[in-house]
Amino acid sequence: MSVRVYEKGRRLALGAPATSVHWIGGAALFALGDGAVQTATLEGAGERTQVHDGAILSACVHPDKKRLVTGGDDGKLCVLGDGGAVETLLETRGKWFEHVVANAATNIIVTASGKEAIVLKAGKEAHRFTHPTSVGGLALDAKGRRLAVSHYNGVTLRYALMADDKGVALNWAGSHLAVTISPDAEYVLTGMQENSLHGWRMPEKTDLRMTGYAVKTRSFSWNKSARLLATSGADCAVVWPFVGKLGPQGKEPLLIGRREPLVTQVAFHPSEDILAIGYEDGAAVAVRIADQVIIELDEAGEGPVTALAWSADGMQIAIGDEGGRGAIVDLSA
């Protein structure tokens, strides 16, 4: 076996599909489709905690950077802490929490249920923003102040902590299923139902249109300098340049890591221009952008890669797939 996981890594049996993975300290926390969170390190699997009575649909690191926030199809928004302690922040009968984001700078958590984006400050609900249709995606800017909510026919931008903010509308016809804000807050991008991206350059709200995808784009990742945006949805990672006054407009993207299976997950290294890519056959690679040298992280498995995240120091990467296979790969020298 030449893939890295067998040379410097740890294979994990997650027991359920991975829906996302997040690093807290030196441990990877896999959010799973059976409602549990599995903790793991290079040394092996750790605690497994049942957090929800159904699938975990969304998760993010808590603003205190010590706990994990999870949203489930049981109508609960929970926090998982040390020793498996579970706290319920919100509970809504008959609805799901499909999206959640958080920011340490403003100590806020934002989740969504139906048409509402719900803002929690210091662990308590502060206020709600209602939208014309169901929320497709959430994103906070790097300062944790500006909230982007995608929905049918566009995106609404608000200052998250201002309960009476009427919002700025970014209009474009169609269904916007995911959203991201560039780290410098100059661009807002969405993944659309029509297998394309739409964007706006701020503050002029200049429209951007990026096409050529085989399926819907569900995974975005910005590099540290905010000059490259990697996306899923094609048979390679499509990496758009955001340089110059017009950003990606009129420019060709970089096409990285082309294989026959489609790309399902992308994740830029936290400090270097190295992109981790997960595919629909379960394989994963890391590619250095400058010369496109490839490290094979994991081989094909039994399901698409659905979770991919670097540790904060960029020395390890966690991988999870729909078949319940997980891995932690060591990329230190």
Q: Minimal CA–CA distance to 259: which of 291, 281, 289, 244?
A: 281
In this predicted model, what pLDDT tens digit does every residue of 233-263 receive, in sequence order? 999 999 999 988 788 888 899 999 999 999 9
Grouping H, G, I as helix, E, B as strand and the rest as coil, residue 82 is: helix
In this predicted model, what pLDDT tens digit does every residue of 134-178 receive, in sequence order? 999 999 999 999 999 999 999 999 999 999 999 999 999 999 999
* pLDDT recorded at residue 302: 83
Q: State CA 189 to chain mean position distance.
A: 14
Contacts of 252 (CB under 8 A, 6+ apart): none
56-61 and 44-50 strand pairing:
unpaired
* pLDDT recorded at residue 266: 98
Residue 212 has pLDDT above 70, yes or no: yes
Mean pLDDT score across all residues of the chain: 95
In this predicted model, what pLDDT tens digit does every residue of 94-129 receive, in sequence order? 889 999 999 999 999 999 999 999 999 988 999 999
* pLDDT recorded at residue 135: 96
Q: Higher-confidence residue: 247 or 305?
A: 305
Residue 1 has pLDDT above 60, yes or no: no
* pLDDT recorded at residue 244: 83
176 neighbors 148 (Cβ within 8 angstroms) = no
In this predicted model, what pLDDT tens digit does every residue of 222-233 receive, in sequence order? 999 999 999 999
81 neighbors 70 (Cβ within 8 angstroms) = no
Q: Minimal CA–CA distance to 157: which of 143, 173, 168, 172?
A: 168
In this predicted model, what pLDDT tens digit does every residue of 47-81 receive, in sequence order? 999 999 999 999 999 999 999 999 999 999 999 99
Segment 174-184 shows an average pLDDT of 94
First to last CA, the chain: 19
Q: State CA 103 to chain mean position distance.
A: 14
Strand partners, 161: none
* pLDDT recorded at residue 54: 95
Residue 282 has pLDDT above 90, yes or no: yes
Grouping H, G, I as helix, E, B as strand and the rest as coil, residue 213 is: coil
